[in-house]
Amino acid sequence: MAVSSRRIRPEDWKPVGVKALEANALKVARSRKNRSVIAGPGAGKTELLAQRAAFLLQTDAAPSPRRILAISFKRDAASNLAARVRQRCHHTHASRFDSMTFDAFAKGLVDRFGQALPDRWRPRPDYEIATHNERDFREFLHDLPTPPSIVGTKNDVREIGPKIFERRHLAGLPLPVDGWPAPTVAEWAADAFWKMSLHDGGKSVLSFAMIGRLAELLLRVNPMARDALRLTYSHLFMDEFQDTTRVQYDLVSTIFRGTETIVTAVGDNKQQIMRWAMAMDDPFSAFDADFEGVRTSLFNNYRSSPELVRIQHVLAQALDARAVQPVSQTDGTIDGESCSILDFASPKIEARQLARSVATYIADLKLAPRDFVILVRQKAGEYAELLEPAFASENLALRNEAGMVGKVMLQELMAEEISKLLVTVLRLAMTPRAGGYWSSCQNWLASMRGIDVDDAIRQSRLARELDTYTTELAARYSHPPKSKAASRALVDDILNFVGPEHVIRSNPAYDQGTWLDKVLDATAEHLLSTSLHSTDWSYALDMYEGVHAVPLMTIHKSKGLEYHTVIFVGLDDGAWWSFSQDEIEATAGFFVAFTRAKQRVIFTYCASRGTRTKIATLYELLTKAGVQITSGSN
C-alpha cells in the first residue's frame, strides 16, 4: 500500500490501511490532550497507536523536525509498533518515530549523559548489566557490617525484607543528589548497595531498575539534557501502561510532566501481571492526576468470538467492577463448546488425549500447529516431559518456548534482533522463492547503516553487496551445519557481514558485558540443534523458528500473543500454590491466559497434581460464566 508523503489537513485525515476505527479510538488518534486509554484484550492497541502516529505525522500535528517517542514494556512490542507505523506512514514520516523499551530508553540516557552525574552516583562507562534476585539481596544484607549506632542495629538490618529491598528501598524513590543526610537503616543499606555496585571492583554492575533511577537523576541535575528531550519529542506514547514501574513513571514524569509534550498512555488495568516485577498498583490513576489525563475506554474486541468475549467479561468484572462490556467484532467458527474444563484420571492420559484432540482439530479445521498454544502457570519443563512424547506419537512437535538455549530462554532468543536477522539472511541466501526476504534484508541493513531510503546511490551499492554476499554464503554453506564449530562460524560470518558495530549501535544492550556473545552462542547452539536432522535449509530454518510446532509457554510469556485455541494445563492448587498471596494479580494472570484465545479455551485438571480448593474462586468464576466440567478421559 502506497502512502503519500504530502501533508493532510486534520479535518481531511482518515485512518490508514483499515476500514474504520471505533469512535473512541478515532477520538484518541486525533486527540490534542493527554489521555489514559483503557484498551482491553483484542482492542487493537498496536493499531491504535500506529493510527495516532499516522495522524500526528501526516497532518503535521507533530511538526517536523520534532519526533514521536513510543516506549513499551517488551522489545517485541516496541519492534511490532515500529513495523506497524512503517506500514501506515510514508518513510519520511516513519523516520520521525522512535520506538523502544523503557530499559533501552533509560540505558541510552545513562550511556550518553551518565558521566555528568555527581561523583557518588557516576557509573564507570563500561558498566555491566546485572539481574538481581532475592537470594542476592539476602546475602548482601546478611554480610553487611553493623550500621552506625545513630542509624540502627545489626538486628534492624536483619529485619529488612530481601524480597522488597529493591522495590521499596534500593529503587523505590528518586535518588537524593547528595545522598541520604539522616538515613534510616534501610536507606543506609541501600546506600551501601549503591556504593558497592557503582564503585567496587573493576566495573560498575547495575540492574535496569538502578539504571532507570540514574537516568531520572541525571535529567534532574542536567536541565540541558532534559530540555533537549522536551524539544525533540512533541508526543509520547506509553504502551502496556498497566505494567509501568515507579522507576519508569518517575523518569517520564521528570522529563515530560507539566510540558507541552502530549502523552498517550495505553493499557488494561485488568491485565496487570507484573506487580512482582515492581509494577505500580494503579498507574492510570496516578497518570490522570499528574498529567491531567482524560480517561478513555475502547469497547471493541477484534480477537475473540462473541461467546469467549461474554465469558471474558465475567472474569473482567472480578478484577474491575466497572469494566465495560466489550463488543466482539469477529464470528464464532467452531461447533460445540467454546470453553470447557476437562478432568483427567492421570497426567499421562491427559497428555495423550490433548495430543489427539489437537491433531484432530488441525485436520478437521485446516489449522496449523502454531494456531494452538499450551499454557502453564510455571515449570514448563516438567509439563513438557509428558506432553512432548504424547504429541510426537501424533506426529506433532511440541516446543517448550520457556526452555533454555545456552544462557538464553528460547522465546527471548526468538525476539533478539541478531537471531531474527540471521534467519532473514539465511532464508534469502539458502531457500527458493525468497524474494520476500530481499526487501526485509535491504531495509534492515540500510537502517542499521544509516542509509536513507531516498539515497539511491548508497541503496544500489548495498543491494549489490547483499546480492554478492548471499551468493557466496550459499556456496560456503550449502547444507545446514552439523557441528557447533560450523554453526558458530556461520553465525560469525553473517555478523561480520552485517557489521558488529552496526548491530551494537542499533541494540545498546549488546554493548554491555557479555550479553551479545551469550546471544550469539545461543543462536549457534539452536541453529545446530535444528540442523542436525535437517537435510535442507528450508526445513532447518522452519525448525529454528518453530513454524510447525505447537508452542508451550508460561502465562507471563503469552502476553500480547493470540491463538485459535488456548489449552491451559493444570488448573489446580499445585500450579497455583501462591494464589492466596496475591489473588488480584493471580486472577489477572488467569484473565490474560484466557484472553489469548480467538475461538476456544480448554482447561485441564488432574487430581494427582493437587486439589482445587485454594483456587475455588477461579472455578466459581467459570461456573458463573456457564463453563462446564466434563471428563476428558476416553
HEC letters along 68-126: EEEEECCHHHHHHHHHHHHHHCCHHHHCCEEEEEHHHHHHHHHHHHHHHCCHHHCCCCC
User: Which residue positions form the known binding site?
Assistant: 39-46
Query: What pLDDT score was predicted for residue 2?
Result: 64
pLDDT of residue 366: 96
**pLDDT one-digit tens code per residue, 155-174:** 999 999 998 999 999 999 99
The Cα-based distances of 117 to 134, 178, 194, 248 in angstroms read: 28, 11, 14, 19
Which DSSP state fits 166? I
> Are 399 and 549 contacting, i.e. CB atoms less than 8 angstroms apart?
yes
Measured between alpha carbons, how far is 448 from 426 in angstroms, rounded to an integer? 18
Q: What is the pLDDT of residue 131?
A: 86
Task: Work out whether strand 404-405 and strand 597-606 pair parallel, antiparallel, or are unpaired.
Answer: unpaired
pLDDT of residue 15: 95
User: Is residue 411 within 8 Å of 375, Cβ to Cβ?
Assistant: no
The pLDDT of residue 432: 86
The closest of 495, 498, 500, 522 to 510, measured between CA atoms, is 500
pLDDT for residue 279: 83
Structure confidence at residue 634 (pLDDT): 59
Closest CA to 425 of 417, 348, 397, 97: 417
Instruction: State the pLDDT at residue 276.
Output: 67
Q: What is the pTM of this model?
A: 0.92
* CATH class of the domain defined by 10-107+217-298: alpha beta
pLDDT of 378 higher than 90: yes
The pLDDT tens digits of the residues spanning 43-57 come to 999 999 999 999 999
pLDDT above 60: residue 1: no
Average pLDDT over residues 421-427: 96
- Each residue of 389-415: pLDDT tens digit? 999 999 999 999 999 999 999 999 999
Per residue in 478-532, pLDDT (tens digit) is: 999 999 999 999 999 999 999 999 998 888 778 777 889 999 999 999 999 999 9
Q: Say whether 306-403+549-631 and 10-107+217-298 share the same fold.
A: yes
> CATH second-level architecture of 306-403+549-631?
3-Layer(aba) Sandwich (3.40)
- Res 202 pLDDT > 90: no
C-alpha–C-alpha distance, residues 294 and 288, integer Å? 7
With 60 as the cut, is the pLDDT of residue 218 above it?
yes
Q: What residue spans define the domains of the chain? A: 10-107+217-298, 306-403+549-631, 409-545
CB 370 within 8 A of CB 401: no
Q: Using one digit for the tens of pLDDT, what is the confidence trace for 316-366?
A: 999 998 888 999 999 999 998 999 999 999 999 999 999 999 999 999 999
pLDDT in tens, 129-154: 888 999 999 999 999 999 999 999 99
- Residues constituting the chain: 634
Residue positions forming the annotated binding site for ATP: 39-46
In Å, how far are 161, 312, 569 from 634, measured between CA atoms? 50, 29, 18
